[in-house]
Amino acid sequence: MRHNNLHNNLHNNLRKRSHNRLHRRLGTILLAVTLAALPGLAQAEVNELELSGKVTAELRAFTQDAQFSGQDQDSNLSFSVEPEFYWEWNDGLDSLTFTPFLRIDEHDDERSHGDIRELSWIHVGDDWELRTGIRKVFWGVTEFQHLVDVINQTDNVEDFDGEDKLGQLMVNLSLVRDWGIVDLFLLPGFRERTFPGADGRLRSGLVVDTNRARYQSGAGDKHLDAAVRWSHSVDVYDLGAYWFHGTNRDPILTPVNRNGSLVLSPFYEQMDQFGVDVQATVDSWLWKFEAIWRDSDSDEFLAAQGGFEYTFYGLKDSAADLGVLLEYGWDERDERGGISQNDLFMGGRLTLNDAESSELLAGISHDLDHDSTSLLVEASRRVGDNWKISLDGRFFSSDTPVDPGYAFRQDDHLQLTVERYF
């Protein structure tokens, strides 16, 4: 008992020190960005401050009993708030954006978390932009997976689909030329991926212990990453290519012993990654392709995702449009390649183009190696000027333990989301 108390005290002290370091770091960032912006803010009028954002209530209802210990709930309620403060001055050439985020979850302490999604100062020149601070940068053109999206870390407790990202500290110089846009990135500091806790659902059988994170680099989470990206539009083509050098956002999860029970320890390697993305708009066709080559000590591989979306405009002489989607994902690592090592994705997107912005997206993915499937349905509609209601469904079918989707086979659920915008 005394040993457990000492361990718990040590564990709590380490967490407090980690939190204190994070608070000091965020305070330093806030001070630096604010000081840089003060000359312009001193001349700004009060009415140049804009406040917007949203408050969200989310309810998940699971249709099956949980398969892992600790997951006692068959429903889960959470609330989040994400305000945005925006200042603009110098005739719009300078702006400052601050977007904090906070979620409170009913069951999972790891999902109750906060983040600074953005705290950035942007200065616009004649043919260049300088963006400094915490930001989110998205790269990618395909619908069901974004292979080339590498700058920001995944906020995995928000959702397991990889769409939600943590804010990343960066200095980004964007140069506009006749032959394309060149973006240069310096990324000081690294964000660890978030994972559900023992009480959370939509997780693997072993809990990921983020306090046991390890790094290949001696600099740990303070390694200076770098990236350069070129993008350009030529006729019907939107083209992009980049090189990234730094800490791999995808950790290697290794089982370790923690007080007599197995947990997963994240290990973050150094890597080089080259990526390309191409999108072509030809009449009603939208052709999409992404590919990466990644090199690290543990692996060297290629992966690609490609397909199309064909849109039927004015469906049956109405204002509605129907898009049909088909994509294929390949990864030469096979089972080690995650969810899209040899997968076919099919779906449809119905847009009513009404005053309420009603939309419906339905998609199914099928693993050609393991014969497993997952179904996704997303429906949303605006209510009045400030409300939005969404109903999503996710359903999984897998009988092969080596399949990455096997851990979710009893996590079928419906999710009701109500958002209030201000």
Predicted confidence band of residue 161 (pLDDT cuts 50, 70, 90): confident
The stretch 161-172 carries a mean pLDDT of 95
351-384 burial, b for 16+ CB within 10 Å, e for fewer? bbeeeeeebbbbbbbebeebebbbebbbebbbee
Predicted confidence band of residue 32 (pLDDT cuts 50, 70, 90): low
Range among 108-117, 158-167, 402-411 with highest mean pLDDT value: 108-117
More confident residue, 160 or 358: 358
For residue 62, give both structure tokens. Answer: 């699971």
φ, ψ (nearest 5 deg) of residue 86: -135, 125
Per DSSP bridges, beta strands 261-268 and 214-215 are parallel
Task: Please report where in the chains the tokens 């997206």 appear, as a residue.
Answer: 361
Residue 130, domain member (yes or no): yes
> Using one digit for the tens of pLDDT, what is the confidence trace for 280-290?
999 999 999 99
Residue 22, domain member (yes or no): no
More confident residue, 47 or 248: 248
The stretch 261-278 carries a mean pLDDT of 97
Cβ proximity of 192 and 208 under 8 Å = no
Percent residues over pLDDT 70 in the chain: 88
User: Is residue 341 predicted with pLDDT exceeding 50?
Assistant: yes
User: Is residue 30 predicted with pLDDT exceeding 90?
Assistant: no
At 320 the three-state DSSP class reads: coil
pLDDT at site 182: 98
User: Is residue 56 predicted with pLDDT exceeding 90?
Assistant: yes
Between CA 357 and CA 361 the distance in angstroms is 13
pLDDT at site 14: 42
- Residue 345 β-bridge partners: 327, 365
User: Is residue 368 predicted with pLDDT exceeding 60?
Assistant: yes
More confident residue, 26 or 240: 240
**Worst-scoring range by mean pLDDT, 33-37, 110-114, 148-152, 331-335?**
33-37
Residue 258, domain member (yes or no): yes
Q: How far is CA 182 from CA 126, 131, 176, 227, in A?
A: 15, 13, 7, 11
φ, ψ (nearest 5 deg) of residue 325: -120, 140
Task: Please report where in the chains the tokens 């892992």 appear, as a residue.
Answer: 68
For residue 20, give both structure tokens. Answer: 């204190």
pLDDT at site 25: 54
**Worst-scoring range by mean pLDDT, 10-14, 257-261, 283-287, 401-405?**
10-14
pLDDT at site 8: 43
Residue 6, domain member (yes or no): no
pTM of the model: 0.87
Residue 23, domain member (yes or no): no
Percent residues over pLDDT 90 in the chain: 79
Question: How many domains are contained in the chain?
Answer: 1
Predicted confidence band of residue 46 (pLDDT cuts 50, 70, 90): very low
Residue 202, domain member (yes or no): yes
Between CA 23 and CA 114 the distance in angstroms is 12
Between CA 130 and CA 95 the distance in angstroms is 11
User: Is residue 180 predicted with pLDDT exceeding 90?
Assistant: yes
Average per-residue pLDDT for the chain: 90
Kindly give, in sequence order, each residue whose CB lies less than 8 Å from that of residue 58, ignoring residues fewer than 6 positions away.
Answer: 77, 78, 79, 80, 415, 416, 417, 418
- The CATH number for 255's domain is 2.40.160.100
DSSP state of 110: T
Which H/E stretch holds residue 273?
A: strand 270-282
User: Is residue 320 predicted with pLDDT exceeding 70?
Assistant: yes
Task: Please report where in the chains the tokens 């990324």 appear, as a residue.
Answer: 187
More confident residue, 233 or 46: 233
The stretch 298-319 carries a mean pLDDT of 96
Cβ proximity of 98 and 84 under 8 Å = yes
User: Is residue 2 predicted with pLDDT exceeding 50?
Assistant: no
CA-nearest of 421, 411, 420, 419 to 75 is 411
User: Is residue 13 predicted with pLDDT exceeding 60?
Assistant: no
User: Is residue 275 predicted with pLDDT exceeding 60?
Assistant: yes
Residue 335, domain member (yes or no): yes
Residue 14, domain member (yes or no): no
Sheet holding 214-215, edge to edge: 214-215, 261-268, 252-258
More confident residue, 28 or 262: 262
For residue 189, give both structure tokens. Answer: 């500091």
CA-nearest of 59, 44, 23, 71 to 393 is 59
> Using one digit for the tens of pLDDT, what is the confidence trace for 127-143?
999 999 999 999 999 99
Structural domain range at position 197: 44-421
